[in-house]
Structure 1
């Protein structure tokens, strides 16, 4: 029969020697034995060819979220010292004091200086050209002549850092002479900008928005015929027109 010799657990040896008298503990050999459990306890790790190496778990870190875009209520006001020009005629001097509109703006860039704006045309009012608001060649318009402006679109971008403004503007201009003549709508579509707007006949240069929100917006548009003999002939349609508006833009955080 075979004989198996089992080594004693180092912890059991430690307990046996610890029960001896203090005198016996003074033995240098015992001191060595007492130290052995701290250094000779081994851990056995078994490997099996049937087990696969553990796959490390990779915890993905969510990307840093961009700052939520800021939302604004934007108020637009037209002021005095404006101009309107069409064809080869001298420009009309136009006092647009009292015009206003409300829109919504949202920052679209990480720099938070570029704001997309969209005005509600139902709230947008631009004073008509009348004898009270407009002069031509230094004289007020005849009392019976009136040009109403009906906005259809007013939206674009405003850079609050540089002051640059670019707003798409679309409106119908309604010419009337009292109750005896009303022309079909004259459609005007342009970009009102604080920069330069230039056509083949007309041109204008705007002014960027200052710290108080004041700016000058200009836009040149091509005006197509409206199949009205009187107005088509009088204005020489198709032709170009120029809008030059002195304005005030203010922001309110929502």
Structure 2
């Protein structure tokens, strides 16, 4: 029986070195795989790409619409209640190369497509009453461009337009030149001021801008409006961004 015990133990003692020899290559193989991934340019590039967020477009189509519940004011007169429903505009946008993490889109609107409704008895009220039937103020945009911050919804758009007053065919004043920055932030002058609202997920925003208005070559308008003075634009709008590709 003593011989049988020794016979059973001998094979077990001989297998231990074999087991250790098989474990060692596994450890070596793991280190080698890590080193290969670091040295191989193609695999390293693929690994880096998986850490980058999904790409977003660099070129955009920009659509602009004006809504109701807007206001326009000049001098110290009470604000006009202005329904700008139906105003439209179309432009292009491109991502600004500002070198930081803030993604700003530079936008420029095509003046041929930009339409802002006139102030008439159908669109405008003053002290709760519609404007007189023959009084009309046309708005002729000359510039509309600026920046939109995609992350925060902040909007700053340079706006320049001619405001043309007329009373039927009897009277037409020289145009008033209004130039301001329509912003989703606060705009404040000496007499006028307002605060906008940033773009939400549906593109809704409120843009405000205070502008200085210089006298024109018309004694009646200068006296009536108290020029030079300030005016306020308060527009309820929708701005939509979509890939242009």
TM-score range, shorter chain: 0.7 to 0.9
In 2, Cα distance between equivalents of 1:160 and 1:95 = 28
Distance in 2, matches of 1:221 and 1:68, equals 36
**Residues 153-199 of structure 1, C-alpha deviation per residue, up to 9 Å, x if partnerless?**
00000011100000000000000001000000100000000000000
> Residue 145 of structure 2: SS of its match in structure 1?
strand
Question: Out of 98, 108, 116, which is 1:118 matched to?
Answer: 108
- C-alpha separation in 1, matches of 2:169 and 2:221: 16
The number of aligned residues is 188
Are residues 246 and 68 of structure 1, via their aligned partners in 2, closer, same or farther at CA, if it must alter by over 3 Å?
closer
Q: Retained in 2: the 8 A contact 1:100–1:124?
A: yes
Q: Secondary structure at the match of 2:223?
A: helix
The match for 1:245 is: 235
Matched position secondary structure for 1:190 = strand
User: For residues 111-162 of structure 1, what are the alpha-carbon distances to aligned partners after superposition, in whole Å with 9 as ceiling and x for unaligned?
Assistant: 4721000001111000000000000000000101000000000000001110
SS at match of 1:88: coil
| Correspondence 1:13-32 to 2 at 5 A | none
Q: Quick check: 1:88 aligned with 2:76?
A: yes
Partner of 2:222: 232
4+ runs deviating over 6 angstroms: none
1:184 equivalenced with 2:169 (yes/no): no
Which segments of 5 or more consecutive residues in structure 2 lack a partner in the other structure? 1-54
TM-score of the two chains, using structure 1 as the length reference? 0.72
CA displacement at 1:69 relative to structure 2: 6.8
Residue from 82, 92, 95 that aligns with 1:107: 95
* Bigger-Rg structure (1/2): 1
CA distance in 2, matches of 1:188, 1:112: 30
Structure 1 contact 84–244 (Cα < 8 Å) conserved: yes
Instruction: Show the counterpart of 2:185.
Output: 195
Provide the rounded CA distance (Å) in 2 between the counterparts of 1:116 and 1:183.
35
Secondary structure at the aligned position of 1:232 is classed as helix
The match for 1:222 is 212
Report the alpha carbon displacement of residue 227 of structure 1 after superposing the two structures with TM: 1.4
1:206 aligned onto 2:184: no
- TM-score, normalised by the number of residues in structure 2: 0.75
Does 1:77 find its partner at 2:82?
Answer: no
Three-state SS of the structure 2 residue aligned to 1:227 is coil
- Give SS of 2:139's match: strand
Q: Secondary structure at the match of 2:230?
A: strand
Alignment partner for residue 159 of structure 1, among 149, 155, 158? 149
Structure with the higher helix share, 1 or 2: 2
Structure 1 stretches lacking a partner, 5+ long: 1-66
